[in-house]
Amino acid sequence: MKFCLPYFLILILFLAAPCAAQSDNVSVGIDITLPFQTVKFQALSGNWKVNLYPLTPGTQKASSTERIFGNINKEKVTEYIVPGEDVSLLLVAKGIVARVSSEKDVDKGFDSVILEGGDLISIEIPETEPMIMEGVIQIDNHDTTLSIINRLSLEQFVVSSASVFGNVSSEIEAVKAYVIVARTKLRYLKENNKHLNELYEICNTPHCMPFKGCGANRQMVSLLADQTFDKVITYNGKIINPRFHHTCGGKISSAKSVYGVDNEPYHPSHNDLKGSEGSENCFHSPAFHWTAEFAKFDFMDFIAVAYAGGIQNFYVAFEPETVDENGRITHMLFRGKAPLFLPGYDFANRAHKHFGYNSLKSMRFNVTEMKRSFLFKGMGKGDGVGMCLYGCDGLAKKGMKAEDIIAFYYPGTRVEEIPAE
Ligand SMILES: [Zn+2]
Ligand SMILES: [Zn+2]
């Protein structure tokens, strides 16, 4: 009897392994707001299998929730590309057609394409920066646009995402903190799926997490991800939603004041200051102070496009309505044919979409009306809630350890080792 238990356990471990591997993956919707009809893949390493799935005649087009990675139950056509070879996919009236290494056309008209089996592949969508990806890639036909989903392991995603948003620091303790924040955020988003009606669990727009494939991966991030494996941030034993931003400008706002949420006590308002003296932790950030000038016409055009369906002069003036104790505008008021009261974060998000991320860097600003323009003078970049990424770098430079930095930005939390389920 004594020997039975260990053998039994070993058997269980073997049986459990494939299931564990499944949930260790994440499916990422890539650039989901961008319409595109052509995409080119070039194999960089490993041999890639290109499976093309036709739309079965007489059947309804599969909805995105019916399309399950690798489980599409239709007759498929398989092509292979080796390093140096490529496949271009083009969306036409009959579906997706493919051209393999500019010689072979596969032009039946397909509904989905899955690329898998290789190590690295480059992806080019016209007018966007090329990306390098790993894992499994699925392209779907949505009639007017194609879509791309990348499925990869949780840790691969953590390394790629932290390499992108964490590129503000090379301090070991800061990067370690970024990795733990990235892992926590990813686990939180998987547990609280905001894309339930899609095949992907998270997207790479500001809605979820930054991700540009593995081409931007930094070796240091990868090493520190191994070193902090399974470490996540918890509050009362539950994985938190760790918010973070580029630069706070010296003052961090609460999630309650910026987003109106009541259930994130670990996102309070506080100064980004170590002790009571010295300079702010993010004082060295290029976005600590900023100015931006917009021609009046351009700015009112943005308001018309973003809030009045393009109707000019529907709103004729804007002003801050509520400002929190840190000087962050939490609500804006537009005056005109009918007044509009809107959250500050919404105003910032739409300004970013319209003018780009380096325009209106934060909602901590004063605006002066000039003759032909509006002059904004502001502090910080991003929403100012949770971890200030530049401040994290500053604290690491002041000798603080990753776990203490995390406790500073997410008070009341703990860093715990919790294996992915
Ligand atoms: Zn999303
Ligand atoms: Zn800061």
pLDDT of residue 143: 87
Residue 177 has pLDDT above 60, yes or no: yes
Categorize the per-residue pLDDT at 104 as very low, low, confident or very high, splitting at 50, 70 and 90.
Answer: confident
Mean pLDDT value of segment 371-396: 97
Residue 206 has pLDDT above 80, yes or no: yes
Residue 18 has pLDDT above 80, yes or no: no
CA–centroid distance, residue 217 to ligand 1 (Å): 21
Residue 90 has pLDDT above 80, yes or no: yes
CA–centroid distance, residue 302 to ligand 1 (Å): 24
Residue 335 has pLDDT above 60, yes or no: yes
Q: H or E stretch including 321? A: strand 315-323
Mean pLDDT value of segment 307-314: 94
CA–centroid distance, residue 356 to ligand 2 (Å): 22
CA dist., res. 181 & res. 269, Å (int)? 19
Look up the pTM and report it: 0.89
CA dist., res. 34 & res. 146, Å (int)? 9
CA–centroid distance, residue 246 to ligand 2 (Å): 8
Categorize the per-residue pLDDT at 60 as very low, low, confident or very high, splitting at 50, 70 and 90.
Answer: very low
Mean pLDDT value of segment 387-399: 97
Q: Which residue is associated with the tokens 């390493």?
A: 45
CA–centroid distance, residue 185 to ligand 1 (Å): 12
Instruction: Give every CB contact of residue 342 below 8 A, 6+ residues apart in sequence.
Output: 307, 331, 332, 334
Lowest pLDDT segment from 12-21, 147-156, 318-327, 346-355: 12-21
Task: Annotate 203-240 with three-state secondary structure.
Answer: ECCCCCCCCCECCCCCHHHHHHHHHCCCEEEEECCEEC
pLDDT of residue 23: 67
pLDDT of residue 103: 84
Residue 289 has pLDDT above 50, yes or no: yes
- 387: DSSP letter: E
Residue 68 has pLDDT above 70, yes or no: no
CA dist., res. 37 & res. 126, Å (int)? 9
pLDDT of residue 32: 83
pLDDT of residue 56: 59
CA–centroid distance, residue 194 to ligand 1 (Å): 6
pLDDT tens readout for residues 223-251 = 999 999 999 999 999 999 999 999 999 99
Q: Average per-residue pLDDT in the chain?
A: 90
3-class DSSP state for residue 98?
A: strand
CA–centroid distance, residue 206 to ligand 1 (Å): 7
Give burial (CB, 10 Å; 0-12/13-18/19+) of 19.
exposed
Would you say 150 and 133 are in contact if contact means Cβ atoms under 8 Å apart?
Answer: yes
Q: Which residues pair with 98 in a beta bridge?
A: 89, 106
CA–centroid distance, residue 208 to ligand 1 (Å): 4
Mean pLDDT value of segment 299-312: 95
CA–centroid distance, residue 224 to ligand 2 (Å): 23
Categorize the per-residue pLDDT at 281 as very low, low, confident or very high, splitting at 50, 70 and 90.
Answer: very high
Query: For residue 250, which ligand has an atom nearest its CA?
Result: 2
For ion ligand 1, residues whose CB falls within 5 Å:
203, 207-208
Categorize the per-residue pLDDT at 189 as very low, low, confident or very high, splitting at 50, 70 and 90.
Answer: very high
Alpha helices in 3-91 (DSSP H): 4-23
Residue 7 has pLDDT above 80, yes or no: no
pLDDT of residue 73: 55
pLDDT of residue 277: 74
3-class DSSP state for residue 260?
A: coil
Categorize the per-residue pLDDT at 385 as very low, low, confident or very high, splitting at 50, 70 and 90.
Answer: very high
Residue 216 has pLDDT above 70, yes or no: yes
Residue 128 has pLDDT above 80, yes or no: yes
CA dist., res. 379 & res. 290, Å (int)? 6
> Alpha carbon of 91 to those of 99, 132, 143, 252, 288: distances in Å?
12, 22, 8, 46, 45
Domain segments of the chain as ranges: 25-152, 156-244+387-417, 289-379
Mean pLDDT value of segment 247-260: 97
3-class DSSP state for residue 305?
A: helix
Q: H or E stretch including 362? A: none
Residue 16 has pLDDT above 60, yes or no: no
Per DSSP, the residues of 139-202 read: EEE-SS-EEEEEEEEHHHHHHHHHHHHTTT---HHHHHHHHHHHHHHHHHHHHT-S-TTSS-SE
Lowest pLDDT segment from 68-72, 97-101, 139-143, 365-369: 68-72
Residue 12 has pLDDT above 70, yes or no: no
Mean pLDDT value of segment 143-172: 96
CA–centroid distance, residue 247 to ligand 2 (Å): 5
pLDDT tens readout for residues 25-55 = 999 999 888 899 999 999 999 999 999 988 7
pLDDT of residue 1: 38
